[in-house]
């Protein structure tokens, strides 16, 4: 009995020691949309910044940029959009943040034995059926644990860091693939919400316009 407990302890310790904790750093994805297997629009770049309870996502393309900032401890943030001459700021609270991320609410999750490596990390596959009728195909690595999983891409309780995901609905696919990951410190100024130069739009009104 003692031997069994000792072996179990060693196994758990090995997993914990082998894991990296991402409490601060930057994860970068490329984003491609296809319809009927043909590209739609240009390739976007999604940069995710982490620092404790703070998250920031920059989604950048040829026509403009959208920045999402959120502090999960304070329950506040904003979406900042810059397209041409348009500069819009949409405040977020816990309710609007939850609604914004409700698109990946799962009706079921299944885990596969398929494996592949992304960015040098061993990844496992999961499939999520969404309540909106769509589907997510996810590749995640158990080797990295995100301290703050209240993000736009982590999909809730996936047991590891998501490094690739594909949203599928009808004939449309939106594919995110991680291009780089680092654990470098991120200046706190990166998470500051602009206080001037933007037209303020409520979250409710933004849902009608975008």
| Predicted confidence (pLDDT) per residue in 8-18, tens digit | 333 333 344 56
Backbone angles phi, psi at 133, to 5 degrees: 95, -10
| Predicted confidence (pLDDT) per residue in 26-70, tens digit | 999 999 999 988 988 889 999 999 999 999 999 999 999 999 999
Instruction: Determine the Cα–Cα distance for residues 6 and 1; give it in Å rounded to an integer.
Output: 9
Report the chain's mean pLDDT, rounded to a whole number: 88
| Predicted confidence (pLDDT) per residue in 119-134, tens digit | 999 999 999 998 888 8
201-205 contacts, C-beta under 8 A, 24 or more apart: 201/88, 201/89, 201/90, 202/90, 202/91, 203/90, 203/91, 203/92, 203/96, 203/99, 203/100
pTM attached to this predicted model: 0.86
Paired tokens of 134: 């769509």
Strands 54-61 and 20-22: unpaired
């Amino acid at each position: 009995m003692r031997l069994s407990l000792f072996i179990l302890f060693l196994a758990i310790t090995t997993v914990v020691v082998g894991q990296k904790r991402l409490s601060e750093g930057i994860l970068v994805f490329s984003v491609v949309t296809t319809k009927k297997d043909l590209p739609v629009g240009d390739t976007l770049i999604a940069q995710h910044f982490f620092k404790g309870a703070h998250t920031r996502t920059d989604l950048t393309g040829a026509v403009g940029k959208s920045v999402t900032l959120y502090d999960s401890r304070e329950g506040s943030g904003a979406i900042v959009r810059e397209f041409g001459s348009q500069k819009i700021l949409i405040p977020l609270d816990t309710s609007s943040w939850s609604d914004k991320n409700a698109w990946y609410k799962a009706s079921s999750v299944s885990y596969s034995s398929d494996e592949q490596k992304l960015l040098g990390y061993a990844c496992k596959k999961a499939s999520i059926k969404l309540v909106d009728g769509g589907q997510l195909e996810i590749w995640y690595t158990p080797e990295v644990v995100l301290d703050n999983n209240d993000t736009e891409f982590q999909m809730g309780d996936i047991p590891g860091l998501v490094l690739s995901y594909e949203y599928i609905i009808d004939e449309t696919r939106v594919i995110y693939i991680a291009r780089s990951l680092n654990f470098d410190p991120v200046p706190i100024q990166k998470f500051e919400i602009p206080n001037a130069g933007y037209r303020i739009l409520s979250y409710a009104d933004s849902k009608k316009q975008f």
